[in-house]
A and B are shown apart, each in its own frame.
Chain A
Amino acid sequence: MKQSLLSVENISRHYRLPRRRLLDRQPVLTAVDGASFQLQRGETLGVVGESGSGKSTLAKMVMAFERPDQGRVLFDGSDINELSAAALKQIRRHFQMVFQDPFGSLDPRRKVGWSIAEPLRAMATDDLSQINDRISATLQQVGLQARDADKYPHEFSGGQRQRIAIARAIITHPALLVADEAVSALDVSVQAQILNLLMDLKQELGLGILFISHDLAVVASICDRILVMRNGRIIETGPTAQVLTNPAHEYTGTLLVAAQI
């Protein structure tokens, strides 16, 4: 059988909450609770669920930013939490992330060209002489201009900054892109452009995309399959049309109703 690009096996993540009184037992919040799923190359898998349901926590574990308290995350067959720091750094180029908060993720004191090239420099294995060509090409790929590389983040509006964040994520030609609310801050027209762009990138580069969004309509228009989260658990999963037209779970139905008002 062909190996999945990403295979998530029964992962959980707990956070400790503040005690109410000094001697109380410290309460624990289970942000992700036994999640399992697979993602193939060239597939877009949507993750939906209400705010606080654990979507971003799931993303952080897939990206190896956080360790699961239980379970495994396999990228191309290898357990990313078993890799040495050096080995993890080596394969990082193959999975990149676009964050929910594009404002926090760009260094305000650096020109955007510098920020976009950061993942390339971090690997330091590429021929850096062509770095400027790569920056120009990538900026154009996301609908910006080559000369935008010399500007600072504050000179761009919110939507433009999100394009910059996407440029930074795809500059290493990754196999997996984790997009956490990547289009939520964008206006509808740019959102449509970016969604089309992601679909093109998926086709051109065979990119697998883990697409997290609270917006069902957005997920419906880009994802092949959908996974519904609630209280840290995956409560439903299936092909997009099936989940949206014939939800197995009552909760998915309520999300659908709210999305259509």
Chain B
Amino acid sequence: MIEVQNLSVRVGDTRAVRRVNLSIGAGERLGVVGESGSGKTMLALALMGMVPDGLTVDGVIRIDGNDLSRASETTWAAYRAQKIAMIFQEPMSALNPLRRIGDIVAEPLLVHQGISRNDARQKVLALFDETGIPDANRRLQQYPHQLSGGQRQRVLIALALACDPSLLIADEPTTALDANIALRITDLLVRLSRERQMALLFISHDLSAVSRTTEDLLVMYGGDIVERGKTRHLLASPSHPYTSGLLSARPRIEQNAGPRRLPTIPGTVPSLFDLPPGCRFAGRCDRELPICRATIPQPAATVSGGFASCHLLNQPSQDQTGQAPR
């Protein structure tokens, strides 16, 4: 369905996404995790032909076999109308505040599928039901500001699903949702991907949502993919220190719940303009080696059957399981 080779997003003389390769077949579900600023949204926008002005994309993006890397805005617009859809991270800015939500979601149906107003209305109602928007009939008439944050997010999801896309890119779709609704949405995405053979790129920092929704997983950091593999195996036995850090920072409900400090990864994602020359994670990593600052680690096979770019994986002291010693 979609195939990406050597994709980079250039910002001045640095890159927000660096030489990414990925492919998602019909009915496949790929997840992307990583801290904010690691390039997830830029990657998604590149796949939509929507990177902001001033940024440039190179590499190959093939959708259904067609190379879109040099495509015009008109071609991209046609793909966006019919094949690929995106659920944006920013619900408020993606919804026109002056229009009723029923009209917002009906519009692509009227324009691109040419169905009657009445059929469009029925379809919108069905979408609202599926995404768990309560009291759908009345909600059609409401404006975005009259909905709660989680309800607005679900309107966006309904909008993205309206035209039966063959590739859906979901950027943090469940972040604003409580656990019950998030479960419902991830179940819905999995079901749609199965039933309609929809390819899904699911971007999230919610590791439990990712593990429920996706089969394969990319971990991004500083514009690079630092680890990849089968979601289940990768999360069960992470090889990259960054992946382990993300997993341990996750709050959990424990026996003696109450205020307590969480383990964190020190510092923040470095700015694109002062990335360390070797491993991008150097300086924040608790297992750093002398070689790390200066030399970029190459991808190596991991215990979980995937790849990770970390010098620990090439250490001679590494034991048989491939797990580097603590």
Contacts and interface: CB of A to CB of B under 8 A. Distances in A.
Interface of A: 15, 17-18, 20, 27, 44, 48-52, 56, 100-101, 103-104, 143, 154, 156-160, 181, 184-193, 195-196, 199, 214-218, 220-224, 239-241, 244-245, 254-256, 258-261
A192 B262 contact: yes
B207 interface: yes
A18 B178 CA distance: 26
10 contacts: A101-B91, A157-B37, A160-B268, A181-B176, A199-B259, A217-B252, A217-B253, A220-B253, A254-B180, A255-B178
Contacts of B261: 196, 199
Contact of B179 (A220, A224, A245, A255): A255
Interface string B29-48: 00001111100010000000
Interface stretch (B68-76, B120-128, B145-153, B229-237): B145-153
B151 A51 contact: yes
Contacts of B35: 159, 187, 189-190
B254 interface: yes
B134 to A, nearest CB: 6
Question: How would you classify the secondary structure of chain B's contact residues: helix, strand, loop or mixed?
Answer: loop
Given A104-B93, A185-B175, A214-B177, 17 more contacts: A17-B138, A52-B150, A103-B90, A143-B268, A157-B269, A158-B90, A159-B36, A185-B172, A186-B36, A186-B205, A187-B35, A188-B207, A199-B261, A216-B179, A217-B253, A221-B257, A258-B180
Contact of A159 (B37, B208, B250): B37
Given A159-B35, A184-B176, A254-B180, A51 B150 contact: yes
B256 interface: yes
B262 A258 contact: no
A181 B259 CA distance: 17
A159 B265 CA distance: 14
Closest 10 CB pairs of A and B: A51-B150, A159-B36, A214-B178, A187-B205, A258-B179, A192-B262, A157-B37, A18-B141, A220-B257, A192-B249
Contacts of A158: 36, 41, 89-90, 172
* Interface residue tally on B, bucketed by range: 35 or more
Contacts of B118: none
Interface string B236-279: 00000000011001111111111111111100110000000000
A215 B254 CA distance: 14
B181 interface: yes
A27 B92 CA distance: 26
A260 B150 contact: no
A56 B150 CA distance: 11
A189 B181 contact: no
Interface of B: 33-37, 41, 52, 89-93, 134, 137-138, 141-142, 146, 148-151, 172, 175-181, 183, 205-208, 212, 245-246, 249-265, 268-269
B259 A192 contact: no
B253 A244 contact: yes
Given A101-B149, A199-B261, A18 B142 contact: yes
A160 B37 contact: yes
Contacts of B252: 217, 220-221
B264 A51 contact: no
B21 to A, nearest CB: 23
Contacts of B134: 52
A240 B258 contact: yes
Contacts of B257: 220-221, 240-241, 244-245
Nearest to B211: A261
B175 A217 contact: no
A103 B253 contact: no
A215 B259 contact: no
Nearest to B147: A52
A20 B102 CA distance: 14
A195 B251 contact: yes
Nearest to B90: A103
A159 B40 CA distance: 12
Nearest to B205: A187
**Chain B CB within 10 A, most for which of A17, A101, A188:** A188
Contacts of A188: 205-207, 246, 249-251
Contacts of B246: 187-189
B141 to A, nearest CB: 4
B253 A260 contact: yes
Contact of A215 (B93, B148, B178, B212): B178
B175 to A, nearest CB: 6
Contacts of A239: 258
Given A187-B205, A222-B259, A50 B181 contact: yes
A103 B92 CA distance: 8
Nearest to A243: B257
Contact of B176 (A20, A100, A255): A100
B259 A223 contact: yes
**Chain B CB within 10 A, most for which of A186, A189, A256:** A189
